[in-house]
């Protein structure tokens, strides 16, 4: 027999693409609460319809008025209330933080029903060190601010994980190539969906690939920690080409030798051929 849910706020993760990823517990909670607070009632309405669940939906995001938050907390104080976002785990680059803070302040029970989050799915696929990682949300869309964030995080000895959009991918990769040269990068795209892919390489290689195959869909961008330098021949070649874009052959060879440990004389000879 399903136990009735105690009053409180239930943070419920939902699929990031593949509807099969909704957990049995998420379904039980979504079916058992008094109402579901959600970012977009149409998006969550579709998910619940797919799951065969009828629920009262209340629109909520972190810009909601105090009155809306009070209303939701009034429900959660006496009945179970779920919070979902459009996809994935609420609070992870999604609404919910303000509501959780306010619920905790009022002594309302807060519990979380875990499930998919694109950042974690990407980390498991990318082939970059997963023992230490830093999730930093979306990279800023403006070039200067993006570079500032990258510089600020450059020395952190962990894999860096960002959310990104397809139209901004090339600019982000370009900035990574310049601000964090020599780092291995991975692009995880359309996770859990039909066209899921995870491609890794140097920023220059990835820029070249996505110039030829413009990316579509949702993207997680990962940057390997300092020290995880790119070392394959193709990576070294790509770095050299990238360095030659704005440096003399001797400077480009020296820079790539420093980053990769490859032989500087051989790099110089290749740089002259490429020039
Ligand atoms: N809360 C969500 C989570 O836990 O993953 C993230 C919400 S955030 C507003 C949306 C961003 O997450 C997208 O722009 C993309 O960067 C990333 N994302 C979401 N679903 C994805 C997927 N299926 N594949 C790759 N990235 C995804």
Per-residue pLDDT tens digits of the chain, which is 275 residues long:
557 899 999 999 999 999 999 999 999 999 999 999 999 999 999 999 999 999 999 999 989 999 999 999 999 999 999 999 999 999 999 999 999 999 999 999 999 999 999 999 999 999 999 999 999 999 999 999 999 999 999 999 999 999 999 999 999 999 999 999 989 999 999 999 999 999 999 999 999 999 999 999 999 999 999 985 556 777 788 888 888 888 899 988 887 776 666 788 999 999 999 98
131 Cα: distance to centroid of ligand 1 (angstroms): 21
Structure-block tokens of residue 221: 């961008």
23 Cα: distance to centroid of ligand 1 (angstroms): 18
Structure-block tokens of residue 158: 């962990």
The closest-lying atom of ligand 1 relative to the alpha carbon of residue 189 is 25
Is residue 23 within 6 Å of ligand 1 at its C-beta?
no
Ordered domains of the chain (ranges, CATH):
8-116 (3.40.1010.10), 131-225 (3.30.950.10), 230-275 (no CATH)
Q: Is 71 in contact with 81 (CB distance < 8 Å)?
A: no
Residue from 12, 93, 191 to probe ligand 1 pocket by mutation (most atoms less than 8 Å from CB): 93
pTM for the whole structure? 0.85
Determine the Cα–Cα distance for residues 88 and 160; give it in Å rounded to an integer.
19
220 Cα: distance to centroid of ligand 1 (angstroms): 7
Determine the Cα–Cα distance for residues 163 and 258; give it in Å rounded to an integer.
30
Is residue 115 within 6 Å of ligand 1 at its C-beta?
no
Is residue 39 within 6 Å of ligand 1 at its C-beta?
no
The residue with tokens 């420093």 is 258
β-strands 8-12, 133-138 pairing: unpaired
């Amino acid at each position: 027999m399903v136990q009735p849910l105690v009053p409180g706020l239930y943070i419920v993760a939902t699929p990031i693409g593949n509807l099969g990823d909704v957990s049995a517990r998420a379904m039980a909670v979504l079916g058992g609460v008094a109402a579901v607070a959600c970012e977009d009632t149409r998006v969550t309405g579709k998910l619940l319809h797919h799951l065969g669940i009828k629920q009262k939906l209340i629109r909520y995001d972190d810009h909601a008025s105090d009155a809306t938050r009070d209303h939701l907390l009034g429900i959660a104080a006496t009945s179970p209330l779920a919070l979902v976002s459009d996809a994935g785990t609420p609070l992870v680059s999604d609404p919910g933080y303000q509501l959780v803070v306010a619920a905790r302040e009022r002594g309302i029970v807060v519990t979380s029903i875990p499930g998919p989050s694109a950042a974690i799915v990407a980390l498991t696929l990318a082939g970059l060190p997963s023992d230490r990682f830093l999730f930093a949300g979306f990279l800023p869309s403006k070039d200067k601010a993006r570079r500032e964030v990258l510089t600020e995080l450059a020395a952190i000895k962990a894999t860096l994980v960002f959310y990104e959009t397809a139209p901004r991918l090339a600019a982000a990769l370009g900035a990574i190539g310049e601000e964090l040269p020599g780092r291995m990068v991975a692009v995880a795209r359309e996770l859990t969906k039909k066209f899921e892919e995870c491609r890794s390489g140097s920023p220059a290689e990835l820029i070249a690939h996505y110039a030829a195959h413009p990316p579509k869909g949702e993207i997680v961008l990962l940057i390997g920690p300092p020290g995880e330098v790119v070392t394959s021949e193709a990576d070294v070649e790509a770095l050299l080409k990238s360095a030659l874009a704005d440096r003399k052959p001797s400077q480009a060879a020296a820079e790539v030798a420093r980053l990769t440990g490859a032989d500087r004389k051989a790099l110089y000879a290749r740089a002259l051929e490429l020039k």
